[in-house]
Chains A and B, each alone.
Chain A
Amino acid sequence: MTSIDVQDLTKEYGSKRAVDHLTFRVLPGRVTGFLGPNGAGKSTTLRLVLGLDRPTSGTARVGGRAYATLDEPLRHVGALLDAQAPHGSRSARDHLRALAVSNRIGARRVDEVLEEAGLASVARHRVKTYSLGMRQRLGIAAALLGDPPVVLLDEPSNGLDPEGIIWIRELLRRLAREGRTVLVSSHLMNETASFADHLVVLGRGRLLADTPMRDFIQARVEPRVRVRTTDGPALRELLARHGYEVSEDDEGRWTVHHARVEDIGRLASGAGLPLLELSAEEGTLEQAYLDLTAPEAEFTTTPAQPQEA
């Protein structure tokens, strides 16, 4: 099983502690969203996992091994850190060719990932002619080159057009379905909510949450139920009797706070009340995230705080 294990990881740059005694595990078979405000230490953590930066203390392992000890690592881990990395004067195909050759990956695989990323028709064009979205696609193609069981992507949706965003969402889900370990950092909440199964949230280098996304939202956003009936007064009376707090909007819809559809539906049916509508009002990841990081976000607005590179 190929998981990512981060154990008591700390990284200091001078006096600034970018990552602070971080411990978490990223498991295969699901997409883990890696969230946190700017400067929270997401990119630093990814660099530490990839052996690019040296930790001050602690360890980061992939499949039980330090990244630097992996033989032909592109076959184990695929990563996108910065879409600006490919040299502008080189073609996408040559960029991928050089990477592939170093890990003894065949030229056919290069063409496959170019095709998969939708870049086949521009593969021989120089990268400087690419838009940001196309560079992102090239970075993702590079990450997939070795068909790796572990995929790390830093802000992959950056600069993608709507079609590209759907593409990356489907791709991430498929990679997880295939049993791969997928870690995706982002600060786009709606975007993350659309592909993540699990969340790891950082704030100021520390772990704030490591939970399934559903639990994360439900624990932090009050569950509400929307209900519409032909007999308003009876409904109000019924709900009040069971201690629910309700509010009514202009169109005759009732919102029941701190309630679940299972309970309200059963209650109404027991009382013989005809219901026209009954639905759960889902909390969003954004609401839950803001609830969690409000104190951290306040901190990052002080002007002296350096931003994440």
Chain B
Amino acid sequence: MAFAPVLHAEWIKIRTLRSMLWALGAIVLATAAFSALAALDAGGTGFDALFSAFFGVSFGQVAAVAFGATAVSSEFQGGALRVSLTAVPQRGRWFAAKAMAVGVPALAVGLVTGFVSLAVGTAALGEKANGLTWTEGLRGAVGCGVYLALMALLATGLTALLRSGVATLGILIPFLLLVSFVVGDMSGTVADFLPDKAGQMVLHETSEGALGPWSGLAVTACWTAAALLAGAWSIRRRDA
């Protein structure tokens, strides 16, 4: 079977669910809104102008995770996966199409989010953003898009592995909102290599730990790749 029709089918499934479109919209809104709020109140020690403009990513990524998880979890309701796999019995190909149908819109919306957040954030920072260079801003905006797409795909892989959106959100959201904040100040430890901490290096002006902006994003990409491979393994191996 050709890949393009399978991908088209998966894209139809995503764009015909209102909840999926809401989740995509929420990525932009949450990121931009919280970035603006944080930027208005920014300053003090350890102030990082770039990260202040992207602070809202911590909240926007929850929407990205919800988007990636819901796209797969809907397949585990009422035997929907069986219908999908009778239409496309090549399971590896089917899951690749699913991941691409999640990843491409997540990346597109993520890039929009990056530039909107940068614009809103720097505007709210005012004079405090003067130190930011043009290349730093561009790096942050593009990095933000890639990071959000990777987080959505991490959730996609994990949901396929756990066969449940509730389980995935139950693990990822507390992890992103709590664990990362708690260990957030422990720079220079293994905490730097957690998927969210590592990937967010690209949103910082200066990097202190072992990881730079792009190597950090690569670490997140490894986490995502591992989750997708585990999800693909589960889809291929288990009875539908």
Contacts and interface: CB of A to CB of B under 8 A. Distances in A.
Q: Which of B6, B8, B18, B87 has the most CB of A within 10 A?
A: B87
A81 B9 contact: no
Interface residues of A, number: 34
A180 interface: no
A63 interface: no
A68 interface: yes
Interface in B50-107: 74, 77-80, 82-83, 85-90
Interface in A53-74: 53-54, 67-74
A53 B239 contact: yes
B215 interface: no
Contacts of A81: 79, 82-83, 86
B87 A53 contact: no
A102 B88 CA distance: 7
Contacts of B77: 87
B6 A52 contact: no
Contacts of B10: 98
B17 A90 contact: yes
Given A54-B239, A73-B89, A85-B83, A98 B13 contact: yes
A75 to B, nearest CB: 10
Given A81-B79, A85-B83, A91-B16, A102 B89 contact: no
Contacts of A193: none
B9 A67 contact: no
A303 B80 CA distance: 30
B240 interface: yes
B133 interface: no
Contacts of A292: none
B80 A52 contact: no
B74 A98 contact: no
Nearest to B83: A85
A87 B6 CA distance: 18
Given A52-B240, A84-B78, A85-B82, 4 more contacts: A47-B239, A51-B85, A71-B1, A86-B83
Interface of B: 1-2, 5-6, 8-10, 12-13, 16-19, 74, 77-80, 82-83, 85-90, 239-240
CB-CB nearest 3 A-B residue pairs: A102-B9, A84-B78, A82-B79
Interface of A: 47, 50-54, 67-74, 77, 79, 81-82, 84-87, 89-91, 94, 97-99, 101-104, 142
